[in-house]
Chain A
Amino acid sequence: MNDTVISAKNLSLTFQTNDGPVHALKDVDLDIKKGEFVSFIGPSGCGKTTFLRCMADLEHPTGGSITVNGVSAKDARKSRAYGYVFQHAGLYPWRTIGGNIRLPLEIMGYSKADMDQRVQRVLDLVELDGFEKKFPWQLSGGMQQRASIARALAFDADILLMDEPFGALDEIVRDHLNEQLLKLWARTNKTIGFVTHSIPEAVYLSTKIVVMSPRPGRISDVIESPLPTERPLDIRDTPEFLEVAHRVREGLRAGHAYDD
């Protein structure tokens, strides 16, 4: 049985700009297996977000190929194969938290009873039970982001793509959400693609860390994490953790990420 969920081969994407072509991605090869937690880390301009957007069919590669669940990224998007979490929660202010989570369900045509039950389930997953009737402005930034994760979890997508979801949050909230995200991943067994520019975050969360470097955007190292699946927050002080973090840092340096 083939358990590869996302597969990129020689993937390239060149943006034509007024200052000439920009190679956002060049000859990227990567396989993501079912149930993996894959982080993409690198300096800005390394194409990590572009790569994630290619998986989501929000950008269109100019070379190579990418498949999601064995089909093209476009077909995967049409069959609602993934949930996507953006950097900003992007909740609709005119809808309650429950209403926001219902939004994709309404679009996908779930029945009312099914929707109610799913909303309860995902609110419970992100520990927001009791907030269904609240409006987004009544919630803190971290809670809003949790609601947006709940929204991405509400429908039956096996893949969760997250583009710096905690980038705008402070470190304390971020730690808490990282811990929650790991628990959630363990409970749902989803395949997660996670873009970040924080080394500790990447190492703490991932089973596989993809280090990327800019100009042109490419993969400079892929690290299979030796850390156990069970990860309390203080695992970040262990030698194993520091070793992986060190290797990530080396990978970033090798990619000339610190040149300028």
Chain B
Amino acid sequence: MKKSLIPILTVVAALVVIWYGAAVALNMPWAKDQAKRAGTEPGFSELVADTWSQDKPKLPAPHQVVVEIWNTTVVMVAKGRGLSKRSLIYHSWVTLSATGLGFLMGTVLGILLAVGIVYNRVMDMSVMPWVIASQTIPILAIAPMIIVVLNAVGISGLLPKAMISMYLSFFPVVVGMVKGLRSPGVMQLDQMKTWSATRGQQFWRLRLPSSMPYLFASLKVAMAASLVGAIVGELPTGAIAGLGARLLAGSYYGQTIQIWSALIMAAALAAVLVALIGVIQRVVLKRMGMA
């Protein structure tokens, strides 16, 4: 842990430096334009200071984003309004719940499809092309249709968004689990046969445990995909709640700082969720003697 800390901090520091530089370059024209209109001739350092403190910069500086996140999370909580609609915590929670439900549904669907593919010859021959085809359709195109169709049958709120998450997240699980369930070698399968084990026994005692390393690798990808799905699912609903709604509202009103704070929040959320799976993976595989 200590060893990896210094390289990570170095990279982060480098990124922050590049970010500040880019903010200067991108926001400079506006700063100069403003100075010209006001008829003043500020020096370079004043111009730079301005590029880092505009209201609607092309690229907000890191500290502006940090302040925005601070104001919409910690300050809101301090005011006792942690779950108000202006709080980023509220929006993160909305997105997180859709992500979580979609991830669970996608994982279950993915595992079921994988079991079908491994055990049923007809499914083996027919399902995979459809699974792959489903992922070639841009989610941005299909998301509004899912929302509209489900709304028409009276389903709205969390479930439609979770469905879009599921749509993205079942794919890596299917691919990983098919590979994982097929990972036992000929010898191990023969061995099961010499004990005349049933298919169920073969599945629960050999195939499923053998697939665990593959499952966890897939779950990490699926979790990230779920979050993307949830955010995309929030875009066409008219931007009511969620990180996707913050992104959309921010872009409507040119609130770049708000967009970036939502982006950073989404990235942090994804990092935490994937790290969480990583921890579970380490514990489980260690207990199984496979790590």
Contacts and interface: CB of A to CB of B under 8 A. Distances in A.
Interface in A133-151: 135-137
Interface in A83-100: 83-84, 86, 88, 90, 92-94
Nearest to A106: B205
Instruction: Name the residue among B188, B195, B290 with the largest chain A CB count within 10 angstroms.
Output: B195
Interface string A60-104: 000000000000000001101011101010101110000000011
Contacts of A135: 289
A58 B205 contact: no
Contact of B209 (A77, A84, A94): A94
Nearest to B284: A94
A103 B196 contact: no
Given A86-B187, A92-B209, A58 B289 contact: no
Nearest to A86: B187
Nearest to A104: B195
Given A78-B196, A94-B288, 20 more contacts: A57-B193, A58-B193, A77-B193, A80-B196, A84-B190, A90-B187, A90-B188, A92-B206, A93-B288, A93-B290, A94-B209, A94-B290, A103-B205, A106-B205, A107-B195, A107-B196, A107-B197, A107-B198, A107-B205, A135-B289
Contacts of A136: 289
Interface string B168-199: 00000000000000000001101111111110
Contacts of A113: none
A104 B205 CA distance: 10
B205 to A, nearest CB: 7
Contacts of A58: 190, 193-194
Q: Which 10 A-B pairs have the closest CB atoms?
A: A94-B288, A93-B289, A84-B194, A104-B195, A107-B197, A135-B289, A107-B195, A107-B201, A78-B196, A94-B209
Q: How large is the interface on A (under 10, 10 to 19, 20 to 34, 35 or more residues)?
A: 20 to 34
Interface of A: 56-58, 77-78, 80, 82-84, 86, 88, 90, 92-94, 103-104, 106-108, 135-137
A21 B205 CA distance: 37
B191 A80 contact: no
Interface of B: 187-188, 190-198, 201, 205-206, 209, 287-290
Contacts of B197: 107
A80 B195 contact: yes
B288 A84 contact: no
Contacts of A104: 195
A92 B191 CA distance: 12
B196 A56 contact: no
A137 B289 CA distance: 8
Contacts of B205: 103, 106-107
19 contacts: A58-B190, A77-B194, A77-B196, A80-B195, A83-B194, A84-B190, A84-B194, A86-B187, A86-B190, A92-B209, A93-B289, A93-B290, A94-B287, A104-B195, A107-B192, A107-B198, A107-B201, A135-B289, A137-B289
Nearest to B190: A58
Nearest to B289: A93
A175 B72 CA distance: 74
Nearest to B196: A78
Contacts of B196: 77-78, 80, 107
Nearest to A148: B191
A92 B188 CA distance: 9
Contacts of A56: 194
A82 B188 CA distance: 16
Contacts of B288: 93-94
A92 B209 CA distance: 9
Contacts of A82: 194
B290 A90 contact: no
A21 to B, nearest CB: 22
A86 B191 contact: yes
A136 B290 CA distance: 11
Contacts of A57: 193
Contacts of B191: 84, 86, 90
Contacts of A80: 195-196
A98 B205 CA distance: 15
Contacts of A84: 190-191, 194
Nearest to B191: A90
Contacts of B289: 93-94, 135-137
B184 to A, nearest CB: 10
Contacts of A93: 288-290
Nearest to B192: A107
A104 to B, nearest CB: 5
A106 B240 CA distance: 55
Contacts of B198: 107
Contacts of A77: 193-194, 196
A203 B190 CA distance: 29
A86 B191 CA distance: 8
Contacts of B188: 90
A73 to B, nearest CB: 11
Contacts of A107: 192, 195-198, 201, 205
